Every structure is written in C-alpha cells, then in structure tokens.
C-alpha cells in the first residue's frame, strides 16, 4: 500500500461502496465498464501540467483488499447486505489500466488514465485514484513552474511543516522531486523514495546560545562540511553576515577547504544577497552559496532574479507543497463506456455547463511532433489506427463540427501505455530518477510560449474525426 499503510481499502467515499453494493444487488457488478481520468483546467497562468502519482495508484490496486476489521466496521453501519460483505471479502482488483507515464507533460481534457474492468471494481477505486493523482499532479506541476523560474539553480523543497498532514508531506515531496526540485528537507521521503535530503539550521539553534557568533562557531565545529549558516535571527547585515564571515575565515585559517554559505530567510533578499556576495568574495570566498527562503514562489523567484539578487539556491516550502495559489486540481474520473453484448457502448455526461460535457468511448492519446517540439495532441478512440501519414483531420473540442488539419507532423507518439493487465503490473516499475528525467526532457521539448510564467499560449488538444462524430451522435440521442 502507498506510504507504508496496509489498510487503505476504506479510504473511499461511502457512495462508491453503496454503488458497488447496488451493482452487486442487481447483478451488474461483473459487467465491464471503462472509466477515464482527466482534469478540466490548468492552474492559473500555467501552460502545462506534469503527471504524477501513478506508481502509488498501481501499488494500491495491486494490494487492495478488505480486512476482517474493515468488514466488521462496514457491517456495523447496517448499510450493507451479507452478500456484499462477502463480495468485499474476496475482492481483488482484476482490471486493465492504461496511463500516461509519470513525468509526462499533459493538458486539460486529455485521458491520463483509462481503467477497464468489472463495474463494481472500477467504481470502487475512484476515490483513491482521484486523491492520489490530483494532488501529485498538482505538486509536480507547481514544482516544474518554480524550477523554470529558478533557471537551473537548485530548488530545495522545505514544505513538510505546512503540508496537509503526514502524507501531504510525503507524497508531496515525491511529486515535487518529479517536477524538478533537487532535494527535500523531508527525511522520510529521503528514506522511502531515495530523494536527496538537505537542510540548514533554524533560528532556534541561534537563539539557544547567548551569542550569535558562539552559535555559529558551535555548529561549524560539529558540521564543518557543507555548513550553511542562518544569518537573519537578529540583524542580517549588522550581525549575522559579519559573524558568519568570521566563522568561515576561522575554518579557512584551520586549513579547511571552505565554501562560504548562508541562508537568508527575511528582509530585502536583493540587497542582502548582494551584500553577502560582496562580503564573501572580497574576503576571498569565491562562488559563495547564498540560499534564500521565506514563503517564496515562482513569481518572487523570477522577480528577485530580475532585480539582480545574488541568490543561487532556493528553499521553497508552503507555496509548493500546498500549491498555494491553486490548492486542488479538479481531476475527475468519468464513466466513458459500458460493455454490452454488441460490444462497447459510449457514455457521456451532459450538463447545463457545456464545459462539463464529457467525451464518450474508450480512448487513446497521441502527441504530434515537428522538429522535435510537440505541436498538438489528439484524443482518439482506442480502436483507431494511428494515422500513417503526417496529416490528418481533427476537430476542436467544444466546437465539434469545426475541422482542422494537423499538417507536417514529423511523428506521432502514443501516450497512454498499458500499465496493468488483469490486476497485475505490465512491465517493470520505473525508478523515481527515470521519471524525473522524463519530466525534465518533456519540459525541454515544450514550445517556449507554453513555459512563460504569465499568459502562456494554450496548447492545442484536438479530437479525432471519429470521436467527434460519436460525441455528436450521442448528444443527439440524449436530446
């Protein structure tokens, strides 16, 4: 089970269980159905998202079972029949799953995970799937944006104290690493996922001594290597920086090979970092490490850089781990087809809000490239052949009668891969660093106009002719 818990089967909205009980009661729980996961909107001013959370989902699906204790609790609610409790006692997930690999760049409306299997099962996993994919994708996306703003400087994730509970920290750290941060302060994330860990010191260290210089000397005595001193407890310019310099000089005088390194956590980070840089370089400490922290986000990092701050390492906590300006990705998991004797039949949700309309059918997803940059994605039906030539007709979602042609795409790549077959993983588990490299490469291949911090272009996502026709036909049927 994800994150060391063995008993997350009940981490489920009650209605998933009552619906599964309903399907069981009317003899439909084994009828096959297809659900797809997608999100409708990107965070504000964000041109792309980075998918994450799949590994945790697959681990959950592989191990999903209900303990006797779970069944006793469910029995105590007096909601469920004996027959349904027996069904849960024997429950294992036997469905098929297709998904975009973690670390893939993705866009609104695209099917990111497709799950097919017995209706009772594929319904029951909805809540966990959404919980896991929504949060992980949100944080990986925020991390990617912050790392773009940092322009290659290392970003340390420091968010655990403001994360939403232990797991908000743990899976958040994993997702942030996928999105590009260099390290985390979260030691458990280091242990469980192999993420590099990092940290400096807290104000309390300095405050526990009678004198700031004494506090710095004591820390340097214990950790002379990779020493980073926090200089803003009392007066950064007047006390913290000169005393830190003194300690680095003392280390150098003892023959140590020292890189001067400080953390600035408050005050005007532009002027203070310039001052620190000048003090250290004038004293012969070239290339000092100047870490900044204190409620930073991608906009502040960009502005500090633009104003010439001499900061070369960023500690980002709250804004990253909570995706502060957009703390929930509205991903949904919608029924898109049911199997009848005649074969798969598409299903869609209509709504008074046209943007809430869902696309019917079992789907696949292509990405089209030209000169190594991706130029458009196409959502198609699962049984459609990938177009052999590099020019094909597509429709615009929301205006399905409006046709476009994708021309001169050098190649198309299939994004939804089989990852689970009859409840067993297909293929090897990827390492977290492979996933992180995939994300880095995918972001590199994005057109620059998608990577702006403000008003990025909207990436074109089309639907195939056949999918457009099916959608229009079902709409007519419903009306």
Task: Determine contact, residues 32/121, Cβ cutoff 8 Å.
Answer: no
Task: Determine contact, residues 437/431, Cβ cutoff 8 Å.
Answer: no
Among 43, 190, 447, 460, binds a copy of itself (CB under 8 A): 190
* 83 counts as binding a copy of itself under rule CB under 8 A: no
H or E segment at 130?
Answer: helix 126-150
* 353 counts as binding a copy of itself under rule CB under 8 A: yes
Least Å distance between CB 231 and a copy of itself?
12
Least Å distance between CB 347 and a copy of itself?
5
Least Å distance between CB 122 and a copy of itself?
9
Rounded CA-CA distance 288/261 in Å is: 6
* 361 counts as binding a copy of itself under rule CB under 8 A: no
Task: Determine contact, residues 463/377, Cβ cutoff 8 Å.
Answer: no
Q: Other CB atoms closer than 10 Å to residue 194's CB: what's the count?
A: 12
Least Å distance between CB 364 and a copy of itself?
21
Q: At what angle do helices 54-63 and 126-150 cross, to 10 degrees?
A: 160
| Tokens (6 digits) for 4 | 């060391």
Q: Other CB atoms closer than 10 Å to residue 390's CB: what's the count?
A: 15
Rounded CA-CA distance 56/136 in Å is: 10
Among 54, 113, 119, 147, binds a copy of itself (CB under 8 A): 119
Distances, alpha carbon 452 to alpha carbons 157, 256, 307, 446, in Å: 22, 43, 18, 11
Output 334 or 438, the one with its CB closest to a copy of itself.
Answer: 334
* 198 counts as binding a copy of itself under rule CB under 8 A: yes
Among 108, 199, 242, 423, binds a copy of itself (CB under 8 A): 199
* 171 counts as binding a copy of itself under rule CB under 8 A: yes
Least Å distance between CB 307 and a copy of itself?
18
The DSSP output letter for 3 is G
Task: Determine contact, residues 378/451, Cβ cutoff 8 Å.
Answer: no
* 205 counts as binding a copy of itself under rule CB under 8 A: yes
* 141 counts as binding a copy of itself under rule CB under 8 A: no
* 26 counts as binding a copy of itself under rule CB under 8 A: yes
Which range in 96-104, 203-211, 391-399, 450-458 contacts a copy of itself by CB under 8 A? Answer: 203-211
Least Å distance between CB 273 and a copy of itself?
14
* 57 counts as binding a copy of itself under rule CB under 8 A: no
For residue 37, list its beta bridge partners: 113, 333
Rounded CA-CA distance 189/183 in Å is: 10
Output 251 or 329, the one with its CB closest to a copy of itself.
Answer: 329
* 134 counts as binding a copy of itself under rule CB under 8 A: yes
Output 208 or 437, the one with its CB closest to a copy of itself.
Answer: 208
- The size of the interface with a copy of itself (CB under 8 A), counted in residues, is 104
* 87 counts as binding a copy of itself under rule CB under 8 A: no
Least Å distance between CB 134 and a copy of itself?
6
Total count of residues recorded for the chain: 479
For residue 118, list its beta bridge partners: 32
Output 234 or 427, the one with its CB closest to a copy of itself.
Answer: 234
Return the residues of window 246-275 that contact a copy of itself according to CB under 8 A: 266-268
* 348 counts as binding a copy of itself under rule CB under 8 A: yes
What strands, in cross-sheet order, belong to the sheet with 363-370? 399-406, 392-396, 461-464, 373-381, 363-370, 411-414
Least Å distance between CB 407 and a copy of itself?
37
- Cα dihedral 94, 100, 102, 105 in deg (nearest 10): -160
* 437 counts as binding a copy of itself under rule CB under 8 A: no
242-262 residues labelled b (16+ CB within 10 A) or e (exposed): ebbbebbebbeeeeeebebbb
With tokens 């940290």, the residue in question is 199
Among 328, 373, 408, 422, binds a copy of itself (CB under 8 A): 328
Output 135 or 248, the one with its CB closest to a copy of itself.
Answer: 135
Contacts of 151 (CB under 8 A, 6+ apart): 305
* 21 counts as binding a copy of itself under rule CB under 8 A: yes
Least Å distance between CB 460 and a copy of itself?
27
* 193 counts as binding a copy of itself under rule CB under 8 A: no
């Amino acid at each position: 089970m994800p994150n060391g818990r063995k008993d997350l089967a009940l981490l489920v909205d009650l209605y998933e269980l009552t619906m599964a009980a309903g399907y069981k009661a009317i003899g439909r729980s084994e009828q096959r159905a297809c659900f797809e996961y997608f999100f409708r909107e990107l965070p504000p001013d964000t041109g792309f998202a980075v998918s994450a959370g799949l590994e945790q989902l697959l681990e959950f699906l592989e191990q999903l079972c209900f303990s006797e204790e779970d069944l006793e609790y469910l029995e105590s609610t007096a909601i469920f029949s004996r027959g349904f409790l027996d069904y849960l006692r024997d429950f294992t997930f036997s469905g098929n799953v297709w998904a975009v690999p973690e670390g893939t760049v993705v866009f609104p409306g695209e099917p990111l995970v497709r799950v097919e299997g017995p209706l009772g099962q594929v319904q029951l996993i909805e809540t966990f799937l959404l919980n896991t994919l929504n949060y992980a994708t949100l944080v990986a996306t925020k991390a990617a944006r912050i790392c773009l703003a940092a322009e290659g400087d290392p970003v340390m994730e420091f968010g655990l104290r403001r994360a939403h509970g232990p797991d908000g920290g743990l899976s958040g750290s994993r997702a942030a690493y996928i999105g590009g941060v260099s390290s985390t302060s979260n030691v458990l994330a280091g242990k469980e996922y192999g993420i590099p860990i990092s940290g400096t010191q807290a104000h309390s260290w300095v405050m526990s001594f009678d004198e700031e210089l004494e506090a710095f000397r004591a820390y340097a005595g214990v950790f002379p290597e990779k020493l980073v001193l926090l200089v803003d407890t009392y007066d950064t310019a007047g006390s913290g920086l000169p005393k830190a310099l003194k300690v680095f000089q003392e280390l150098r005088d003892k023959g140590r090979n020292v890189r001067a390194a400080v953390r600035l956590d408050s005050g005007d980070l532009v002027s203070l970092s310039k001052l620190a840089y000048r003090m250290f370089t004038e004293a012969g400490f070239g290339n000092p490490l100047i870490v900044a922290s204190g409620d930073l986000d991608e906009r502040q990092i960009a502005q500090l850089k633009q104003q010439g701050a001499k900061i070369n390492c960023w500690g980002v906590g709250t804004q990253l781990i909570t995706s502060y300006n957009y703390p929930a990705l509205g991903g949904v998991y919608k029924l898109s087809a049911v199997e009848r004797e005649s074969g798969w039949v598409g299903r869609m949700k209509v709504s008074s809000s046209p943007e809430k309309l869902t696309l019917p059918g079992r789907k696949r997803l292509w990405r089209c490239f030209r000169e190594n940059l991706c130029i458009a994605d196409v959502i198609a039906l699962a049984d459609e052949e990938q177009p052999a030539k590099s020019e094909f007709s597509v429709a615009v979602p929301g205006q399905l009668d409006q046709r476009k042609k994708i021309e001169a795409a050098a190649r198309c790549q299939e994004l939804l891969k089989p990852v689970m077959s009859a409840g067993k993983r297909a293929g090897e588990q990827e390492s977290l660093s492979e996933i992180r490299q995939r994300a880095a490469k995918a972001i590199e291949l994005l057109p620059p106009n998608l990577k702006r911090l403000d008003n990025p272009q909207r990436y074109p996502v089309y639907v195939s002719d056949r999918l457009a026709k099916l959608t229009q036909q079902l709409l007519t049927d419903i009306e």
